[in-house]
Amino acid sequence: MDNQIVTIQTQPFEGQKPGTSGLRKKVKVFQQPHYLENFVQSVMNTISVEDRTTLVVGGDGRFHNDIAVQTILKMALANGFKKVIVGINGLVSTPAASHLIRKYNAIGGLVLSASHNPAGPNEDFGIKFNNASGSPAPEGVTNAIFENTQAINEYLISDMDAVDISDAQEIDLNDMVVQVVDSVADYTELMQSLFDFDALKQGFASGQLSICFDAMHAVTGPYAKSIFEATLGAAEGSVINAAPLTDFGGGHPDPNLVHAKELIDIMSQDSAPALGAASDGDGDRNLITGKGCFVSPSDSLAVIALNHRAIPQFKNGLAGVARSMPTSTALDRVAQTLSLDCYETPTGWKFFGNLLDAGKVALCGEESFGTSGDHVREKDGIWAVLCWLSIMLESNKSPESLLRDLWQQTGRSYYCRHDYEGVEGDKANQLLAELTDSLPTLAGTEVSGLMVKAADVFSYSDPVDDSVSNNQGVRVFFENGSRVVFRLSGTGTDSATIRVYLERVENDPQQCDEDAQEATKALGEIAKQLSKMEALTGMTAPTVIT
């Protein structure tokens, strides 16, 4: 097959700096001539010619995914890559992409997703580069990519026809092989190696286990159908909203109490299954719920750590655990109970990569509904659900009982996140700047009856490579153990979201039955007062509470 390589003249676009999860913009931004190509070429420019061996490509199937995949294939050929691994029809969940990178010893992968953001012609699209370990690129790499986007003046692309990626096959393009893989079968095989599928299958057959999994019309539908229904024997229809759609059915594929309302309604019924779960657009986030019982992501991570011996992957124990800074300190108390090292990192899964690669941790998670182990270098929604099923099977306990066990042993972190969405960028930045300026005088002051113990801006020094990440969020600690954290979201595409994290620690096992939103209500008012939220943004209440 004779394919002509074409050099296209271009010029830089503003704002192509990758955030915590890559480059995310509106579809119409990515549809601009040269926009996607500039970014892809900038990624490829950071990879030496001799290292351009195998590249993984795929995404969550949102609108523009198919066009972007074909563009990347043409550019990979033009830029001298020897092989590209791509999912059937360009569909690969984010954890599955991480696994493919590791399995095929790829130099990295281009993952096409805007995660939990809405999809469609007028909604969001995204792209990020994962390195050879399967982890989102560290800051050194993303900074190099950004520098390339600021200086780029040309890119290389082939004039070849679109490649047929509708079936698993190998396509020889002379200078490059395109290997189309069934990522669902591949990921299912990986999960079988990590969990006792025979025991879980018996649990479903006996009625001890049952599930409702909401795929939210996103990429995990086929994975969940393969694992929960076809392999483990869950009842047909246990996976709802299973067909992936380019606009996610017009929904918002963010697995939380607001957007997963259909699942929450099912789990509030008398006939609810033992476990309710949901995943997001690209399959890396998870929601866990029992019958009338919501499990916060922070508590979910802590429960998995406390009961890790029930999971075959961790049968030999945990090397250590890690959480993002805004995530509640429930994991810290479990780690102390189990004599495990516990690391606190900035928000962004890439910060766990070094710890995982160095063998310092085997389990990590974030409050934003992300949990995973050392099998991949991304958060993994279906994996987290399998962890819960394994723990429920061995303990013969419900999610609610497992939560109570956690609180009885280690105390409870009453925890809520308040999102103030759609804030003008300048106003959001002003709020954080003024709050930061007030920190030196906060310690020792009393705010609505609570004494401030300390206040700072979180900075992280990586214990593996000594890299430092500054300005990772504002923290205010109180004498009673409560904590409030402020940061701007790095996952939106326009305007800004101010995230406020509220944590109240209760060590008395007899005082662990309060509603989390009620228990943190006073902290929410203090947070608004400290940040001058209403005065600076005009907002009197959060738009979303999780």
Which of 181, 206, 238 corresponds to the end of one domain?
181
Handedness of CA 317, 332, 391, 253 (dihedral sign): negative
- Identify whether residues 399 and 476 lie together within a single domain: no
Which of 364, 385, 410 corresponds to the end of one domain?
410
- Identify whether residues 495 and 516 lie together within a single domain: yes
Which one, of 169, 193, 171, lies nearest residue 182 by Cα? 169
pLDDT for 490 beyond 80:
no
Looking at residue 496, which CATH number applies to its domain? 3.30.310.50
Which one, of 401, 372, 251, lies nearest residue 314 by Cα? 372
Handedness of CA 39, 132, 218, 61 (dihedral sign): positive
- The 8-class DSSP code of residue 134 comes to S
CA distances 7 to 4, 13, 72, 75, 160, Å, are 10, 18, 15, 10, 14
pLDDT for 351 beyond 70:
yes
Helices (H), ranges, 79-151: 94-103, 139-151
Percent with pLDDT over 90 in the chain: 93
pLDDT for 38 beyond 90:
yes
pTM greater than the 0.75 cutoff: yes
- Identify whether residues 42 and 173 lie together within a single domain: yes
- Identify whether residues 54 and 169 lie together within a single domain: yes
Are β-strands 342-345 and 286-290 bridged in parallel, bridged antiparallel, or unpaired?
unpaired
CA distances 546 to 110, 276, 287, 424, Å, are 31, 17, 11, 22
Give me the residues paired with residue 384 across strands: none
Which of 161, 181, 201 corresponds to the end of one domain?
181
- Identify whether residues 395 and 353 lie together within a single domain: yes
Question: What tokens does 54 get?
Answer: 């195998």
- Identify whether residues 434 and 540 lie together within a single domain: yes
Distance of CA 251 to the CA centre of its chain: 18
- Residues 78-82: what's their mean pLDDT? 98
456-487 pLDDT tens trace: 999 999 999 999 999 999 999 999 999 999 99
- Identify whether residues 48 and 177 lie together within a single domain: yes
Taking the C-alpha atoms of residue 381 and residue 365, their distance in angstroms, rounded to an integer, is: 11
pLDDT for 213 beyond 70:
yes
Say if residues 313 and 193 touch (Cβ distance below 8 Å): no
Q: Which of 93, 98, 115, 324 is catalytic?
A: 115
Helix, strand, coil shares of the chain, percent, nearest 5, are: 35, 25, 40
124-154 pLDDT tens trace: 999 999 999 999 998 889 999 999 999 999 9
Taking the C-alpha atoms of residue 149 and residue 39, their distance in angstroms, rounded to an integer, is: 6
Query: DSSP secondary structure string, 241-261?
Result: S-S--TTGGGS----STTTTH
- Determine whether 166 is an active site residue: no
Question: What tokens does 18 get?
Answer: 């990758």
Token look-up 């409560």 returns: 482
* Number of domains the chain contains: 3
Taking the C-alpha atoms of residue 228 and residue 219, their distance in angstroms, rounded to an integer, is: 15
CA distances 127 to 43, 68, 185, 227, Å, are 11, 9, 24, 27
Which run of H or of E encompasses 201?
Answer: helix 197-206
Q: In what order do the strands lie in the sheet with 363-366?
A: 342-345, 321-324, 363-366, 370-373
| pLDDT at res. 493 | 56
Give me the residues paired with residue 363 across strands: 321, 373
- Identify whether residues 360 and 483 lie together within a single domain: no
Separate counts of helices (H) and strands (E) for the chain: 18, 27
| pLDDT at res. 246 | 97
* Mean pLDDT taken over the chain: 95
pLDDT for 292 beyond 60:
yes
Which one, of 153, 160, 190, 191, lies nearest residue 176 by Cα? 160
Helix or strand or coil: residue 45? helix
Q: Which one has a higher pLDDT value, 286 or 292? A: 286
Specify whether the backbone of 474 is left (phi greater than 0), alpha (psi in -120 to 50) or beta.
beta
pLDDT for 404 beyond 60:
yes
Domain housing 95: 5-181
Specify whether the backbone of 208 is left (phi greater than 0), alpha (psi in -120 to 50) or beta.
alpha
| pLDDT at res. 491 | 53
Looking at residue 324, which CATH number applies to its domain? 3.40.120.10
| pLDDT at res. 258 | 85
Say if residues 228 and 213 touch (Cβ distance below 8 Å): yes
- Identify whether residues 117 and 176 lie together within a single domain: yes
- Residues 320-328: what's their mean pLDDT? 98
Going by pLDDT thresholds of 50, 70 and 90, the confidence category of residue 1 is low
- Identify whether residues 396 and 417 lie together within a single domain: no
- Identify whether residues 122 and 271 lie together within a single domain: no
Taking the C-alpha atoms of residue 17 and residue 363, their distance in angstroms, rounded to an integer, is: 29
- Identify whether residues 339 and 486 lie together within a single domain: no
Say if residues 501 and 417 touch (Cβ distance below 8 Å): yes
Question: What tokens does 385 get?
Answer: 């659900």
- The 8-class DSSP code of residue 49 comes to G
Which one, of 50, 326, 97, lies nearest residue 220 by Cα? 97
